[in-house]
Amino acid sequence: MSQLVRTVTDRRVVVEAGEQLKVVRTSTERRVAVALAGIRGPGGSGPSYIHTQAVAQSSWTVVHNLGRHPLVDVEVSNEAVQARVTYPNNTSALVEFTSPQIGKAYCY
């Protein structure tokens, strides 16, 4: 069986349908964040915080106050979508789109 190796460049990872993702951390890396859009698997509890964006904006500031960088799932029109998520600090996340959107951000 061949092994698929993808190189992470510019902090973006693309995983095709049906592929599995394994993140290996070396001693020179500080942190790795991976966000995948799709259906959440079974198990686990619900989100720790839900942000509702009622006014269309291309940039959402999500103040979650969790004291960490959570996984953030984003929905627009009840559909999982890809968005750029950055963490200015341990209590908030910045979700960015190419055009203004309304929807929800689920922090896990």
Per-residue pLDDT of the chain (108 residues; tens, 9 = 90+): 334 444 444 444 555 555 555 554 444 445 445 555 444 555 567 789 999 999 999 999 999 999 999 999 999 999 999 999 999 999 999 999 999 999 999 999
| Site of tokens 């291309």 | 58
Report how far residue 64's alpha carbon sits from residue 66's, in angstroms, rounded to the nearest whole number.
Answer: 5
pTM of the model: 0.61
DSSP labels, 13-77: ----TT--------TT---------S---S-S---SEEEEEEEEEEEEEEE---SS---EEEEET
